[in-house]
A and B are shown apart, each in its own frame.
Chain A
Amino acid sequence: MIARLAVVALLAFMTVPTVVVIAVSFNPTAILSFPPSGLSLRWYANVVAYPQFRRAAVNSLLVTGAAAALALPAGTLAALALERGRLRGRSVWAAMLLSPLVVPGVAAGLGFLILAAGLGLLRSRSVLVAAHVALVLPFVVRSVWVSVRNLDPVLERAAASLGATPWRVFRRVTLPLLRPGLFAGLLFAVVVSLNEFVVSLFISNRVTEILPVAMFTYVVNYTDPTIAALSSLFIVVTFLVVWLADRYLNLARVFLRP
Chain B
Amino acid sequence: MIANVVKDLGLDSFNWPGAAAFAMLALALTLALLTALGRLAAGRPS
- Say whether A114 contacts B20, CB under 8 Å: yes
Residues of B within 8 Å of A, CB-based: how many?
A: 17
- Say whether A103 contacts B16, CB under 8 Å: no
Give the residue of A106, A111, A113 whose beta carbon is less than 8 angstroms from that of B3: A106
**Is A39 interfacial (CB 8 A cutoff)?**
no
Shortest C-beta distance, B45 to chain A (Å), equals 24
Q: Within residues 1 to 28 of chain B, which ones have a CB less than 8 A from any CB in chain A?
A: 2-3, 6-7, 10-11, 16, 19-20, 22-24, 26-27
State the main secondary structure of chain A at its contact with B.
Answer: helix
**Is A201 interfacial (CB 8 A cutoff)?**
yes
**Is B34 interfacial (CB 8 A cutoff)?**
yes
Shortest C-beta distance, A212 to chain B (Å), equals 14
**For A102, A106, A111, which residue has the most chain B Cβ atoms within 10 angstroms?**
A106
- Say whether B23 contacts A106, CB under 8 Å: yes
- Say whether B20 contacts A110, CB under 8 Å: yes
Q: Which residue of chain B is the closest to A114 with respect to CB atoms?
A: B16
Residues of A within 8 A of B34 (CB): 102
Q: Mark A176-191, 1 if CB is under 8 A from B, else 0.
A: 0000000000000000
Residues of A within 8 Å of B, CB-based: how many?
A: 14
State the main secondary structure of chain B at its contact with A.
Answer: helix
Q: Which residue of chain A is the closest to B31 with respect to CB atoms?
A: A102
Residues of B within 8 A of A201 (CB): 7, 11
**Is A146 interfacial (CB 8 A cutoff)?**
no
**Is A107 interfacial (CB 8 A cutoff)?**
yes
Residues of A within 8 A of B22 (CB): 106
Shortest C-beta distance, B14 to chain A (Å), equals 10
**Is A85 interfacial (CB 8 A cutoff)?**
no
**Is A28 interfacial (CB 8 A cutoff)?**
no
**Is A202 interfacial (CB 8 A cutoff)?**
yes
**Is A104 interfacial (CB 8 A cutoff)?**
yes
* Contacts A104-B3, A110-B16 known; 5 new A-B pairs at CB < 8 A: A104-B2, A106-B3, A110-B6, A110-B19, A201-B11
Q: Which residues of A contact B (CB under 8 A)?
A: 102-107, 109-111, 113-114, 198, 201-202
